[in-house]
Amino acid sequence: MVRFIHRILHRIKTMLPPNLRWNSLLVVMSFSTTFIAVVAVLMITFAMNNRFNASIDRTTEQNNTQIVDNVSDSIDSYLKEIRSVSDTISNLLINYNPEKVFNFYHLVLRDDIDTIAVFDAQGELVMKTDSRNLKENVDIKRQNWFRSVAPGSRMYMFTGPHVQRLYKGEYRWVISLSTGVEWTDGENKHQGVMLVDLNFNNIEEMCSKELGEKGYLYIIDKNGELIYHPRQQMIYAGIKDKTIPIASALDDGSEIIKRDGDRILISVKTLRNADWRIVGVSPLNGLFAYDAELRIFISLIVISVVLLIIFLSVIVSFFITSPMYRLMRLMGKVEEEKFNTYYVARGVHEVKELSFAFNQMVYKIKRLMEQIVEEQQLLRKSEMKLLQAQINPHFLYNTLDSIMWMAESGDQKNVVKMISALAQFFRLSLSGGYDTILVADELKHVENYLIIQKMRYNDQFDYEITYDEAVLQCKTLKIVLQPIVENAIIHGVANLPYKGKITINAGVRQDRLFFKVIDNGFGIRPEKLDNILEEKPTTRSGMGVYNVNKRIQLMYGAEYGLQFESQPDEGTTVSIILPLAK
């Protein structure tokens, strides 16, 4: 099974395009089907979770209510029992003096009772159940537990948790029960207050019932003051339980509240024998709060289903879109001008129709490309011939005019020399109808032109032709030097007050063929130099420069052509850049 999946994944990898994008059909289909399926799974999981959570909430509420009722009954019984203890002592005080009562009851003092003491109406100690020494200068009458009942009234009052400071060196947290008592001493009748201090042993034990994983019980009075809390040290440190004000405002029963994003079940029950309320607090975390193994199991199932959905979505989407990706690869070949590409589709009807249209398109593109190539070749040849034809006539007219002038003056030697140079010039210009000639022939061609022009301008300038031997057998577009030299003569050296010079150099630089035409003439003004190669030149010489540059770029591309460097009154350098071709 693993090998089978591996082969499928390998096949998918080899068939997918290398530049697969996020908005491709495969990705969109895979993502869409995965998204829909995952949303469906999550919705089902969410609905089931809500159903289970509602059931768990009801069960938790019933359990918590039962526990709170049981604890409240236990504490009610406990407080009733404590009141019974106080009633027993009160009855004994009626029939016996305090000393006899002390000797009798001291033997049965309970562990949860910290102390029992009786004080008269003036706050003086009458009796107590242990031998601990009272603090001096303690004003008993100002104590809350003493002031809460009238001496001899037989009323009962529980005072909330406080530190009992009656005894030297002891500061115990207790809950105090106060009740009014009466006793006789001989013929005298006395009234006072009995104090019963309770520690938290029994209350803590009764409130230790567990309410779920993190639930707890605590006790408050009717004013919301805390009587007992299992995290008592936290309360002492000033850290408030946020559920206390909520529980104080609730009636008896259970209610689910939301606090800081959490759901909490609060159950409240008021005691019968005291103004106390038992509060049960349980966080409702739903199904996952009760069984870690169940939580892990359900999470693994959901993750496994999601991964399976993703895998199946990719597989199904791949088999649907793979014919289209094959068609895309063939389109890439067509972009590379491989027009012998055809595709026979295997897949859904739409893909077959698309492949048929693709084959028709490739056939028509191939025919159109062949037609365009033929037309471009003819157009290029025509434009080259037109540009070349614009170069020669003007020079021919001027040269014949010079020959006629020399013949009339009887200068037969120079007439012969000029006619011979002119004949060689046009023989090389024609060059059998070819567009390219050897560099050696191009240099010979421009030399014949310089011979003629030097005679026409009465030796107004000298010229020098230099070259690297390696470039003589290289190919160059014909008649590229003559228009540049003509420009150098007319605008550079022809009208100098001193003898000018034109230097022509041919060489190789950076794997390119370079010609340089350098003159020491007047130079070119900067504003004219910027427009020297403009498409619509304003002078005939400018037209010649434009034609040379245009012919070079038509033949070889825009990266080749002419470059000008010039300084006024210093001269001009024209570089002709051509590809190096042997």
Beta-sheet pairing, 500-509 with 561-567: unpaired
SS (H, E, C) 492-506: HHCCCCCCEEEEEEE
Tell the burial category of 433 from Cβ atoms under 10 Å away from its Cβ (0-12, 13-18, 19+): exposed
The pLDDT confidence band at residue 166, using thresholds 50, 70 and 90, is confident
Closest listed residue to residue 541, CA positions, set 553, 533, 530, 550:
533
Radius of gyration, CA atoms only, the chain: 58
pLDDT, average across residues 53-74: 83
pLDDT, average across residues 16-37: 66
Beta-sheet pairing, 461-467 with 500-509: parallel
Dig out the tokens for 35 from the structure. Answer: 């998204």
Dig out the tokens for 414 from the structure. Answer: 């120079």
For 116-130, 188-202, 230-244, 479-493, which range has the lowest pLDDT when averaged over its residues?
A: 230-244
pLDDT, average across residues 267-271: 90
Local structure of 23: helix, strand or coil: coil
Q: Report how far residue 306's alpha carbon sits from residue 102's, in angstroms, rounded to the nearest whole number.
A: 77
On whether the CB atoms of residues 419 and 450 are closer than 8 A, the answer is no
For 175-189, 207-221, 383-397, 483-497, which range has the lowest pLDDT when averaged over its residues?
A: 383-397
For residue 176, the tally of other CB atoms under 10 A from its CB is 22
The residues spanned by each domain of the chain are: 391-579
Q: Report how far residue 45's alpha carbon sits from residue 39's, in angstroms, rounded to the nearest whole number.
A: 10
> Using N-to-C axis directions, what is the helix angle for 392-408 and 439-456, rounded to 10°?
40
Dig out the tokens for 186 from the structure. Answer: 């001989």
Q: How many percent of the chain have pLDDT more than 90?
A: 11
- CATH level 3 topology of 391-579: Heat Shock Protein 90 (3.30.565)
For 318-332, 449-463, 544-558, which range has the lowest pLDDT when averaged over its residues?
A: 318-332
User: Is the pLDDT score of 186 beyond 80?
Assistant: no
Q: What is the pLDDT of residue 104?
A: 64
The pLDDT confidence band at residue 466, using thresholds 50, 70 and 90, is very high
Q: What is the pLDDT of residue 237?
A: 65
Q: Report how far residue 313's alpha carbon sits from residue 83's, in angstroms, rounded to the nearest whole number.
A: 75
Q: Which residue has the higher pLDDT, 553 or 335?
A: 553
Q: Report how far residue 280's alpha carbon sits from residue 282's, in angstroms, rounded to the nearest whole number.
A: 7
pLDDT, average across residues 227-245: 76
Q: What is the pLDDT of residue 380?
A: 62
